[in-house]
Chain A
Amino acid sequence: MRRLLGALTVSVALAASAVTVTGSSAQAASRNDVLVIGMATSDLISLDPAKAFEFAGIGVNSQTYDRLLDFAPGKYDVPGPSLATSWSVSADGKTWTFKLRTDAKFHSGNPVTAADVVYSLGRVVTLKETPSFILTQFGITPDSLKAIDTHTVQITLDKQYAGGIFLACLASGVTGIVDSKVVQSHAKKTDKHPKGDMGLTWLSTNEAGSGSFIMRKWAKNDRVILDAFSGHWGNVPKLKRVVVKEINEATSRRLQVEKGDIDIAWELFPDQVKALESSSELHIDKFPATTIYYVGMNVTKGPLKHAKVRQAIRYAVDYDGIINHVMGGAAKAINTFIPEGFAGYNGKIHFKQDIAKAKALMAEAGFADGFSTTINTGDQTPNPELSQVLQASLAKIGIKLKINKMVSSQLWPDYRKQNHDIIMARWGPDYNDPHTNAQPFADHTVKQLSWRNAYYNDTTAGLIDQASREMDQAKRMALYNKANDIIQQDGPYIFLFQPLYQYGVRNNVVGFLPPPTFDLWKLYTVSKK
């Protein structure tokens, strides 16, 4: 006992002595070549470009890997050259040839060659992890990839696709080019890949890229340390180091950016933004996220099969209330499946709350007395709150809406089985081209959102199919917009809003360009005064 007490006394003394030492000074603010970003990175599970499909993982990969093409920071409509300096397509629209730059090096010092590109893309379609569909949708297999010479790559697709779609996909996170020599040396046999995992296990926590930053360390659930790669062919970072610190709690992000312990607080909510607005040391940067919050209506369920009822519901919704109150102003109304930030975006608003019109439409459809139905909703903010506003709105036209809260592992399988009446949902693009949204929202044949809501419209599906082969960018955008007009008026959705990302940025941070998605996130432009 005495020994125990002795040990305790020592620990207390130790703790007490530590308390007397002054706490941290504003650490991030004191170093000009180190940028500290505080963000919720609990979804960081793999850093392998072939596997990562979560915001944080793609965000980190965007710093450490180069792609064949890329979107310039701040310009997100058409991708430009990156590892590939020029490209051309055969007359039948199926075979693409890419010329690689000759001065690109991996972090290991190895040169970036056509063989690395063939290996990297081949890896994605062989491993078949979640994001692999971005390439396999073009019928790409390992056999479609060919290194013509050290700096020329040829990719053959199964049929002609709109160049805009294909090139945008080659600029997405999954196409990060890995150092084939380094990765092959770390391949091992696993249960899932008995013939060898092509480095899948190793790359989940390590990095073998040629990007502007080298991943120095990933301490899980704690921080990622990125160091500048001075040997980059073009985009050498202005900073020496970037630390991405995991801070999942938004209030904590706010306190730390205000105090200067972090330079950028990622994704702040309206409460925190309000608290920071008066600060003279930092400002709020905003950019619309490309996520779209929408309501899906299963058109096989009761009155929802009537287009006029769906139209009435769209007129009944209190859009302003949702944006101003539930979202605290951090959202913008949208009536298109092409989010702002993408090519082809059209800001036209079809629906504003108009209860009289909604009631008239209900009467025309034969439901003047309303009806009862159920909305399935996720249990995470803001979904329940959004559903409550919807409930109040629909009550005004006689529709009794029952809210059924579900955890996401119940919600999505149920949605996939077309079990819902109405669902509160959201959709994030998979790559940076309107096609990634147009297809799920308007083409039921791909068994995505349109199919899940049992909305089988051959006209819109045909328009999307036509767009998928249209080589002229402007004509392609017109096709999407034509499909969108039909979807807005007749389709199974209510488009609620596009949220705004709000970042708290210290005033000494220069060159930060808030990105609409994580695979467009570029840190090499950032510096500190």
Chain B
Amino acid sequence: MGNYILKRLVSLCITVAGIAIVTFFLSLIVPIDPLAAIAGPQADPETVERLRAVYGFDQPLHVQFFRYVERLAHFDLGMSFQTGRPVLDDIIYFFPATFELASIAMIIAIVFGIPLGVISAVKRNSFLDQAARVISLIGVSMPVFWLGLVLLLIFYFKLSWLPEPGRLDIMLIEPPRITGMLLIDSIIAGDWEVFQDALMHSIMPATVLGLFGLAGIARIARSSMLDVLSQEYVKTARIKGLSEFWVIVRHAFPNALVPTVTMIGLTYGGLLEGAVLTETIFSWPGLGRYLTVAFLTLDLNAIVGGTMLVAISYSLVNLLVDLLYAYLNPKITLAKGEG
């Protein structure tokens, strides 16, 4: 097991190195001048050329590349042109908010998605099944921007059940930053007022995000459940006289979980990139908005840093999924699971 994890971590490093190299060369192909972003629209040609030298863009390509590799080898992601701060600092600053939101969204998606899928498989074509399908459809097809604004209008503006966009009430002071996740930091500080307020603030954005994940998870859970329910061993269990409840809970459900876990892993990986629109509507200071600005302005260092973070997140979530497989289904051996 330990050996396996070690192997996977080595392959993760290779993946990340590969991504770093590909990103560097891709950024060269893009027909956009990164100096435009640094200098701003009003700068005169001399300023642009001066800045080009300051940032080393006037150097030959191989020099730029080796400088880049050398920096990465020292875990130095460089400075963001946009913010003028080290990219690593920016990522450490913005990622926890995204991680927190994505995790709550994932919990919502799992807690509601799996039962929804299982129930609609068991009660196939019933009213419940139809209802679940509609919910899935809404989750997949509703534009996040629109859904977010509608929820705001109803639950914040009209009903006042949920607070305004943002992470925390304007009058509350954040607890000392330890993890950067308000819910965790407030627990550490024992500040329950902040905890409750932060939780309330996260409900709407997490629901919007979670609904999207929920739809996919429910659909996979449903189809794999249907698949499992038609298997011989389920019939055997029924013939043995086991009640339908135990057939589902003990025999069908654990087996249907494997593909569902894959879906959960993929969805989670996706959410960790940060959800630009959700973050914008709900004034959520996360990575999605940071990276969007970086992409739009060709802030190369920030793009590389962000891309690597996404790659690492995906790889780690994948590793976790593979480990879960072994736990869920002992017949899957990890050595074969590599790939």
> CB within 8 Å of B: which residues of A?
1, 8, 11-12, 14-15, 18-19, 21-25, 27-28, 31, 34, 36, 42, 45-46, 51, 53, 128, 130, 133, 191-192, 200-201, 204-205, 219-223, 243, 245-249, 251-252, 255-256, 258-259, 261, 407-413, 416, 427-428, 430, 440, 446-448
**Whose C-beta in chain B lies nearest to the C-beta of A407?**
B296
Chain B interface residue count, CB cutoff 8 Å, equals 65
By the criterion CB–CB under 8 Å, are A246 and B110 in contact? Answer: no
By the criterion CB–CB under 8 Å, are A22 and B82 in contact? Answer: no
Question: Which residue from B167, B170, B174, B203 sits with its C-beta under 8 Å from A15?
Answer: B203
In the assembled complex, the CB of A403 is this many whole angstroms from the nearest CB of chain B, namely 19
By the criterion CB–CB under 8 Å, are A21 and B107 in contact? Answer: no
Question: Which residue from A8, A252, A255, A261 sits with its C-beta under 8 Å from B111?
Answer: A8
Q: Does B149 contact A (CB under 8 A)?
A: yes
Question: In the assembled complex, which residues on chain B have CB atoms less than 8 Å from the CB atom of A25?
Answer: 160
**Whose C-beta in chain B lies nearest to the C-beta of A54?**
B40
Question: In the assembled complex, which residues on chain B have CB atoms less than 8 Å from the CB atom of A222?
Answer: 166-167, 283, 285
In the assembled complex, the CB of B280 is this many whole angstroms from the nearest CB of chain A, namely 5
By the criterion CB–CB under 8 Å, are A409 and B297 in contact? Answer: yes
16 A-B pairs with CB atoms under 8 Å apart are A18-B203, A23-B162, A24-B164, A24-B169, A27-B170, A45-B83, A130-B47, A201-B84, A222-B166, A252-B283, A255-B157, A258-B157, A409-B33, A411-B41, A413-B33, A448-B44
Q: Which residues 278-325 of B have a CB within 8 angstroms of A?
A: 280-281, 283, 285-286, 289-290, 293, 296-298
Question: In the assembled complex, which residues on chain A have CB atoms less than 8 Å from the CB atom of B166?
Answer: 222-223, 245, 247
Question: In the assembled complex, which residues on chain A have CB atoms less than 8 Å from the CB atom of B170?
Answer: 27-28, 34, 36, 223, 243, 245, 261
By the criterion CB–CB under 8 Å, are A21 and B84 in contact? Answer: no
By the criterion CB–CB under 8 Å, are B203 and A53 in contact? Answer: no
By the criterion CB–CB under 8 Å, are A23 and B156 in contact? Answer: yes
Question: In the assembled complex, which residues on chain A have CB atoms less than 8 Å from the CB atom of B32?
Answer: 407, 409-410, 413
Query: CA of A261 to CA of B166 in the docked complex: distance in angstroms?
Result: 11
Query: CA of A249 to CA of B39 in the docked complex: distance in angstroms?
Result: 26
Question: What does the 1/0 interface line of B127-147 toward A look like (CB < 8 Å)?
Answer: 000000000000000000000
In the assembled complex, the CB of B91 is this many whole angstroms from the nearest CB of chain A, namely 12
By the criterion CB–CB under 8 Å, are A42 and B174 in contact? Answer: no
Q: Does B37 contact A (CB under 8 A)?
A: yes
Q: Does B259 contact A (CB under 8 A)?
A: no
The 9 closest A-B pairs by CB, nearest first: A221-B285, A24-B163, A222-B285, A413-B33, A261-B164, A412-B41, A409-B36, A409-B32, A413-B36
By the criterion CB–CB under 8 Å, are B285 and A252 in contact? Answer: no
Q: Does B161 contact A (CB under 8 A)?
A: yes
Question: In the assembled complex, which residues on chain A have CB atoms less than 8 Å from the CB atom of B171?
Answer: 27, 31, 34
Query: CA of A110 to CA of B163 in the docked complex: distance in angstroms?
Result: 42
Q: Does B26 contact A (CB under 8 A)?
A: no
By the criterion CB–CB under 8 Å, are A11 and B107 in contact? Answer: yes
Q: Does B85 contact A (CB under 8 A)?
A: yes
**Whose C-beta in chain B lies nearest to the C-beta of A260?**
B164
By the criterion CB–CB under 8 Å, are B293 and A42 in contact? Answer: yes
Q: Does B270 contact A (CB under 8 A)?
A: no
**Whose C-beta in chain B lies nearest to the C-beta of A447?**
B44
By the criterion CB–CB under 8 Å, are A259 and B157 in contact? Answer: yes
Question: Which residue from A23, A204, A407, A447 sits with its C-beta under 8 Å from B160?
Answer: A23
Question: In the assembled complex, which residues on chain B have CB atoms less than 8 Å from the CB atom of A51?
Answer: 84
By the criterion CB–CB under 8 Å, are B296 and A18 in contact? Answer: no
Q: Does B42 contact A (CB under 8 A)?
A: yes
Question: In the assembled complex, which residues on chain A have CB atoms less than 8 Å from the CB atom of B111?
Answer: 8, 11-12
In the assembled complex, the CB of B198 is this many whole angstroms from the nearest CB of chain A, namely 10
Query: CA of A391 to CA of B303 in the docked complex: distance in angstroms?
Result: 36
Question: In the assembled complex, which residues on chain B have CB atoms less than 8 Å from the CB atom of A408?
Answer: 36, 41, 296
Query: CA of A172 to CA of B196 in the docked complex: distance in angstroms?
Result: 43
Question: What does the 1/0 interface line of B6-31 toward A look like (CB < 8 Å)?
Answer: 00000000000000000000000001
By the criterion CB–CB under 8 Å, are B200 and A221 in contact? Answer: no
By the criterion CB–CB under 8 Å, are A21 and B200 in contact? Answer: yes
By the criterion CB–CB under 8 Å, are A221 and B84 in contact? Answer: no
In the assembled complex, the CB of A527 is this many whole angstroms from the nearest CB of chain B, namely 18
Question: In the assembled complex, which residues on chain B have CB atoms less than 8 Å from the CB atom of A220?
Answer: 93-94, 285
Question: In the assembled complex, which residues on chain A have CB atoms less than 8 Å from the CB atom of B157?
Answer: 255, 258-259
**Whose C-beta in chain B lies nearest to the C-beta of A259?**
B157
In the assembled complex, the CB of B113 is this many whole angstroms from the nearest CB of chain A, namely 11
Query: CA of A31 to CA of B110 in the docked complex: distance in angstroms?
Result: 40
Question: In the assembled complex, which residues on chain A have CB atoms less than 8 Å from the CB atom of B174?
Answer: 219
Kindly list 6 other residue pairs between chains A and B, CB separation below 8 angstroms, not including A248-B283, A409-B296, A410-B33. A14-B199, A45-B84, A219-B285, A220-B94, A247-B165, A248-B289
In the assembled complex, the CB of A68 is this many whole angstroms from the nearest CB of chain B, namely 24
Question: Which residue from B34, B165, B169 sits with its C-beta under 8 Å from A27?
Answer: B169
Query: CA of A255 to CA of B203 in the docked complex: distance in angstroms?
Result: 18
**Whose C-beta in chain B lies nearest to the C-beta of A251?**
B149
In the assembled complex, the CB of B150 is this many whole angstroms from the nearest CB of chain A, namely 11
In the assembled complex, the CB of B35 is this many whole angstroms from the nearest CB of chain A, namely 7
Q: A252-B281, A413-B35 are in contact. Are A23 and B163 (CB under 8 A)?
A: yes
Query: CA of A320 to CA of B31 in the docked complex: distance in angstroms?
Result: 37
Q: Does B234 contact A (CB under 8 A)?
A: no
By the criterion CB–CB under 8 Å, are A246 and B285 in contact? Answer: yes
Q: Does B54 contact A (CB under 8 A)?
A: yes
Query: CA of A34 to CA of B45 in the docked complex: distance in angstroms?
Result: 45
Question: In the assembled complex, which residues on chain A have CB atoms less than 8 Å from the CB atom of B169?
Answer: 24, 27
Query: CA of A335 to CA of B216 in the docked complex: distance in angstroms?
Result: 56
Question: In the assembled complex, which residues on chain B have CB atoms less than 8 Å from the CB atom of A259?
Answer: 156-157, 164
Question: In the assembled complex, which residues on chain A have CB atoms less than 8 Å from the CB atom of B178?
Answer: none
Q: A11-B111, A409-B33, A447-B44 are in contact. Are A249 and B200 (CB under 8 A)?
A: no
By the criterion CB–CB under 8 Å, are B94 and A221 in contact? Answer: yes
Question: In the assembled complex, which residues on chain A have CB atoms less than 8 Å from the CB atom of B46?
Answer: 447
Question: In the assembled complex, which residues on chain A have CB atoms less than 8 Å from the CB atom of B328?
Answer: 1
By the criterion CB–CB under 8 Å, are A409 and B285 in contact? Answer: no
In the assembled complex, the CB of A292 is this many whole angstroms from the nearest CB of chain B, namely 12
Question: What does the 1/0 interface line of B95-134 toward A look like (CB < 8 Å)?
Answer: 0000000000001101100000000000000000000000
By the criterion CB–CB under 8 Å, are A53 and B40 in contact? Answer: yes
In the assembled complex, the CB of A183 is this many whole angstroms from the nearest CB of chain B, namely 16
Residue in A128, A200, A223 with the greatest tally of chain B CB atoms within 10 Å: A223
In the assembled complex, the CB of A220 is this many whole angstroms from the nearest CB of chain B, namely 6
By the criterion CB–CB under 8 Å, are B200 and A416 in contact? Answer: no
**Whose C-beta in chain B lies nearest to the C-beta of A426?**
B41
By the criterion CB–CB under 8 Å, are B290 and A221 in contact? Answer: yes
In the assembled complex, the CB of A340 is this many whole angstroms from the nearest CB of chain B, namely 20
In the assembled complex, the CB of A455 is this many whole angstroms from the nearest CB of chain B, namely 16
Question: Which residue from A15, A247, A412 sits with its C-beta under 8 Å from B36?
Answer: A412
